[in-house]
């Protein structure tokens, strides 16, 4: 069984359990009945007694407790103004869980939150095993600031060796989190934690709830009203709250900003016994995702049940001390994310009928590769394998990359990158035709300019199409660092109008990936590791992004391996450099997606690569990727097993790219440039004969359609026509 089938099975298992728990309840009817009712009308006598007892423990005054209870059960929605500030602080502890398999491939997203200084709580179906934690990360601060700007997320590795416990029945997982992030060494303590209390009385039926969540993996959001607790069982709370997939693992808060439940599943809408989607059709497990399910009610696991199981299973675990030892009064004091009370030290001892949990040292790996110890829980007799930890961290680091929001330090594309001492070896930015230059997005600060400079590459945007006309990069395959890939943090560029940039809204509920033009991997070089990280992260601008079908973007060995192949086979051995210009073919006849009928998406992409031969001579080659056939056959809204050969890659004359794009490619000094077609090996007569021979062989294959005249269909990198 594949990982996707396994995850779908986990979803269905939770849905089945929710159905079983709700078999004697008419949840839609309960929700309708409770809509206009106060907690006084919906809560039982024992519930109200528990609620009063809890208020007395937290407030310490019988008169005040009674007054607060009366206000609550009467349905009075007025709050002290500090409700907002306390909610902001509580939300800091909530993280997006980026789920990756052991090979580092993205599997999806969930939500989790800190319940102790180094402990994250999420669902079992988000992190069902220790293996799922190895390459997954907790990402804090993935949200908007007070002015609506996207903040830089901070990534923290999970540490299942220090703590991992999971329950399928209650659908929860607790896992340790590193004390500090990777580059930048941000302390996890800045995000506080949300205490869990095993006592009852934290909320009564009919009270309002709030969920802070990362729906569908999006930036942090909350649903603050029309979220009413409508019924409880011994294990779960039922409530009417808007959530999506990716919200699994979110904290469910009371009005006191105390966690009362762990959101995890619910009852889906059904027609003729088949689960329905938000698109108005039956759920298809081979295509649809968890966030596509249409829910009619939501269910959260009660905090009291989670705490009870943890206490029974891990009674002496040092990382869980804050979960076990806090009183209600203390919990209210730390629910805003402030530091926890000091707890007595404890050691991991042998516990009968419970697993053992080694305490590990957390290491910080700096930008220059240095390793330092951030904190230690080692007891006598324990050992530490520094080399093993360093290797593991190198495979899957968590990056916090400095970002200059002023854009003053970006140098952009360097025309002399191949050889700064010889102007004849310069490669210039593409020249736009007069008509095309009228269609570009201009810089707000200087409307006479349209080139956006980044670290090592430059972009020009098409104003109406909201996509790049081209992205031109300096690539150095020497001086690279062996780095794992952090989660992409995509940004709008404030130097051009926001409506000239196609952003994340377009990539939901279809098979388009956010495809880099200048690849992140290509920019992972620099004089230091930190500079390489900064350069690579700068490729995650919407100006450098185009909608590329997921199957192409995940099976790109040929298209995105061309530069490296040319460099390894035909360039100066001591200068692993290339100039790579790429972009979409923005054709007037490009199709549109029905959801956004005014936005055309490209079906062809072009690439021009320039480098030096081993004799120090400049050469340039051009390529076209055509994905129109596969889009015609399979569309963009269904996930299918599409063979990679459906995406045809051609080597073409540079002049052909110029004809399709309205761009002109030149080299040499700016005063006397020459056409890159002059150094295109495909333009040579001998190359043309080889093209004809290869094309004849390709056309004889029943599986390959005829290519346009002059286009060489590439079956592998060995088919590329090279210099000489």
Q: Is there a domain that residue 721 lies in? A: no
Asked if 432 and 305 sit in the same domain, the reply is: no
Residue 62: which domain range? 3-334
Asked if 169 and 275 sit in the same domain, the reply is: yes
Last residue of a domain, one of 657, 676, 695: 676
Measured distance CA(5)–CA(28) in Å, rounded: 30
What's this model's pTM, rounded to 2 decimal places?
0.47
Asked if 428 and 328 sit in the same domain, the reply is: no
Q: Is there a domain that residue 239 lies in? A: yes
Q: Is there a domain that residue 292 lies in? A: yes
Asked if 427 and 330 sit in the same domain, the reply is: no
Asked if 136 and 256 sit in the same domain, the reply is: yes
pLDDT given for residue 9 in this prediction: 56
Asked if 318 and 444 sit in the same domain, the reply is: no
Measured distance CA(274)–CA(269) in Å, rounded: 8
pLDDT given for residue 581 in this prediction: 95
Q: How many domains does the chain fold into? A: 2
Last residue of a domain, one of 282, 305, 334: 334
Measured distance CA(300)–CA(236) in Å, rounded: 5
Asked if 325 and 437 sit in the same domain, the reply is: no
Q: Give the residue carrying structure tokens 């603050």.
A: 224
Asked if 330 and 429 sit in the same domain, the reply is: no
Q: Is there a domain that residue 723 lies in? A: no
pLDDT given for residue 711 in this prediction: 76
- Using 50 as the pLDDT threshold, list the residues of the chain that sit under it: 1-2, 245, 333-399, 554-556, 558, 567-574, 638-647, 685-705
Q: Is there a domain that residue 267 lies in? A: yes
Measured distance CA(724)–CA(197) in Å, rounded: 74
pLDDT given for residue 406 in this prediction: 86
DSSP three-state, residue 211: strand
Measured distance CA(183)–CA(572) in Å, rounded: 34
pLDDT given for residue 693 in this prediction: 47
pLDDT given for residue 438 in this prediction: 96
* Cα distances (angstroms) measured from residue 533 to each of 487, 507, 539: 12, 25, 10
Q: Is there a domain that residue 88 lies in? A: yes
Asked if 328 and 427 sit in the same domain, the reply is: no
pLDDT given for residue 7 in this prediction: 54
Asked if 555 and 438 sit in the same domain, the reply is: yes
Asked if 187 and 295 sit in the same domain, the reply is: yes
Identify the CATH number of the domain in which residue 171 sits.
2.40.10.120
Enter the tokens of residue 3.
Answer: 């990982």
Asked if 427 and 318 sit in the same domain, the reply is: no
pLDDT given for residue 165 in this prediction: 95
Identify the CATH number of the domain in which residue 603 sits.
3.40.570.10
Phi, psi of 303 (to 5 degrees): -60, -40
Q: Is there a domain that residue 133 lies in? A: yes
Last residue of a domain, one of 676, 703, 719: 676
Q: Is there a domain that residue 718 lies in? A: no
How do strand 172-176 and strand 119-122 relate by DSSP bridges? antiparallel
To 5 degrees, how large is the angle CA 498–CA 588–CA 653? 105
Cα–Cα nearest to 655, from 698, 717, 588, 708: 708
């Amino acid at each position: 069984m594949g990982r996707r089938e396994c995850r779908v099975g986990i979803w269905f298992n939770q849905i089945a359990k929710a159905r079983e728990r709700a078999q004697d309840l008419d949840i839609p009817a309960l929700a309708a009945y409770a809509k206009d009712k106060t907690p006084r009308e919906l809560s039982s006598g024992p519930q109200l007694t528990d609620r009063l007892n809890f208020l007395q423990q937290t407030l310490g005054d019988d008169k005040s407790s009674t007054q607060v209870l009366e206000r609550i059960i009467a349905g009075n929605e007025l709050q002290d103004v500090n409700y907002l500030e306390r909610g902001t602080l509580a939300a800091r502890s909530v993280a997006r869980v980026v789920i990756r398999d052991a090979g580092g491939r993205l599997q999806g997203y969930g939500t989790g939150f800190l319940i102790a200084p180094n402990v994250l709580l999420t669902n079992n179906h988000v992190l069902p095993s220790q293996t799922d934690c190895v390459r997954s990360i907790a990402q804090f601060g993935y949200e908007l600031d007070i002015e609506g700007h996207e903040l830089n997320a901070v990534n923290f590795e999970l540490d299942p060796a220090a703590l991992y416990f999971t329950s399928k029945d209650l659908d929860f997982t607790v896992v340790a989190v590193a004390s500090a992030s990777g580059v930048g060494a941000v302390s996890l303590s800045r995000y506080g934690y949300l205490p869990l209390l095993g006592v009852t009385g934290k909320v009564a039926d009919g009270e309002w709830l709030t969920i802070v969540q990362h729906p569908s993996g999006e930036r942090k959001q909350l649903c603050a009203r029309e979220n009413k607790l409508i019924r409880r069982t011994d294990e779960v709370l039922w409530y009417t709250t808007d959530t999506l997939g990716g919200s699994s693992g979110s904290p469910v808060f009371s009005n006191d900003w105390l966690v009362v439940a762990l959101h995890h599943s619910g009852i889906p809408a059904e027609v003729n016994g088949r689960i329905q989607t938000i698109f108005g059709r039956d759920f298809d497990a081979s295509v649809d995702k968890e966030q596509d399910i249409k829910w009619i009610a939501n269910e959260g696991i009660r905090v009291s049940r989670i705490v009870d199981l943890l206490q029974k299973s891990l009674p002496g675990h040092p990382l869980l001390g804050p979960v076990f030892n806090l009183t209600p009064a203390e919990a209210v004091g730390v629910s805003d994310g402030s530091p926890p009370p000091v707890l007595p030290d404890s050691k991991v001892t042998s516990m009968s009928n419970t697993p053992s949990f080694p305490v590990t040292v957390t290491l910080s790996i700096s930008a220059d590769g240095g390793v330092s110890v951030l904190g230690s829980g080692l007891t006598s007799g324990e050992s530490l394998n520094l080399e093993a930890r360093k290797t593991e961290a190198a495979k899957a680091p968590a990056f916090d990359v400095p970002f200059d929001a002023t854009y003053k330090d970006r140098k952009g594309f360097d025309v002399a990158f191949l050889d700064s001492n010889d102007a004849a070896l310069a490669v210039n930015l593409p020249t736009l035709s007069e008509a095309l230059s009228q269609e570009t997005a201009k810089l707000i600060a200087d409307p006479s300019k349209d080139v956006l400079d980044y670290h090592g590459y430059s972009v020009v945007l098409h104003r109406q199409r909201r996509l790049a006309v081209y992205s031109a990069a300096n690539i150095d395959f020497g001086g690279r660092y062996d780095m794992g890939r952090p989660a992409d943090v995509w940004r709008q560029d404030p130097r051009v109008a926001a409506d000239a940039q196609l952003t994340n809204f377009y990539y939901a509920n279809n098979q388009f990936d956010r495809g880099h033009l200048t690849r992140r991997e290509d920019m992972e070089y620099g004089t230091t590791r930190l500079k390489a990280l900064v350069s690579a992260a700068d490729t995650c601008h919407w100006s450098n992004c185009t909608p590329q079908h997921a199957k192409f973007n995940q099976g790109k060995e040929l298209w995105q391996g061309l530069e490296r192949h040319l460099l390894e086979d035909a360039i100066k051995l001591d200068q692993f450099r290339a100039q790579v210009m790429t972009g979409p073919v923005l054709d007037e006849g490009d199709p549109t997606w029905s959801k956004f009928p005014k936005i055309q998406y490209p079906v062809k992409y072009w690439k021009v690569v320039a480098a030096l031969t081993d004799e120090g001579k400049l050469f340039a080659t051009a390529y076209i990727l055509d994905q129109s056939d596969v889009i015609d056959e399979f569309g963009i809204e269904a996930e299918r097993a599409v063979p990679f050969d459906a995406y045809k890659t051609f080597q073409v004359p540079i002049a052909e790219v110029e004809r399709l794009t309205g761009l002109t490619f030149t080299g040499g000094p700016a005063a006397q440039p020459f056409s890159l077609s002059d150094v295109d090996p495909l333009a040579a007569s001998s190359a043309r004969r080889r093209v004809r021979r290869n094309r004849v062989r390709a056309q004889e294959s029943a599986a390959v359609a005829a290519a346009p005249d002059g286009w060489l269909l590439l079956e592998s990198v060995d088919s590329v026509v090279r210099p000489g």
